[in-house]
Amino acid sequence: RRILLVNGPNLNLLGTREPEIYGEDTLADVEALVARVAAEFGLEVRAVQSNHEGALIDAIHAAREDCVAVVINPGALTHTSVALRDALTGVRLPVAEVHISNVHAREEFRHRSYVSGIAECVIVGAGVQGYDFAVRRLAALLAG
C-alpha cells in the first residue's frame, strides 16, 4: 500500500526559502522523513513536487490507481485553488493537509484554505514534523 506525498509550488526551495519561516530542512529531507515514517506502518510513498497546478492535479488523479491516501502541502495553491480541492475530492482518498508554518499567524490571505474542508486532518505550524504527524494519522485511519 502506498501514500502519495504532494508538495506544491515553491516547496522545492525548502531549506533556502525564508528559513526563518520554513526552517532549514530541504524537500529531500521531507521526502526522506515521510518515507521513513510510512515504512514504520508498512506503507510506501510516491513523492511529487511541482510548481504547476495541472501537474499536481494529474498526480492526484493517477493516485486513484495505486495509492490509499494523500499527504499534501499545497503551498500557495491552498488559498486559491478550487481545482486542486476538486481533484482531491474526485479521487476519494483520505487527505492530510500540512502547512509547515502557522498560516493563521500570518497574512490574512493565508487564513483561508480550499483544502481544509475536505481533509481528514489539518496540521499547521508544526514545522516539517507536521508531515510525520500526517502520515501517522493516515496510518491510524487506514488501520481502522
Closer CB to ligand DQA, 3 or 30, in the complex: 30
Q: Shortest distance, CB of residue 28 to ligand DQA, whole angstroms?
A: 16
CB closer to ligand DQA, 57 vs 98: 98
Write the CA distances from 50 to 9, 27, 73, integer angstroms.
6, 12, 11
- Longest Cα–Cα distance of the chain, Å, equals 39
- Is 100 near ligand DQA (CB under 6 A)? yes
What are the residue numbers of the active site?
Answer: 22, 99
Q: Is 101 in the site for ligand DQA (CB under 6 A)?
A: yes
Angle ∠(60,72,34) on CA atoms, nearest 5:
110
Which of 75, 95, 123, 135 is the binder for ligand DQA (CB under 6 A)?
Answer: 75
Specify whether the CB–CB gap between 24 and 66 falls below 8 A. Answer: no
**Residue 66 beta carbon to ligand DQA: minimum distance, rounded to whole angstroms:** 26
Under the criterion CB under 6 A, does residue 85 sit at the interface with ligand DQA?
Answer: no
Q: Cα Rg for the chain, rounded, in angstroms?
A: 14
Give Cα separations from 97 to 5, 16, 78 (angstroms): 10, 22, 9
Going by the annotation, the residues of the binding site for substrate are 73, 79, 86, 100-101, 110
Residues of the shown chain interacting with ligand DQA in the complex, contacts defined by CB under 6 A: 10, 73, 75-76, 78, 99-101, 103, 110
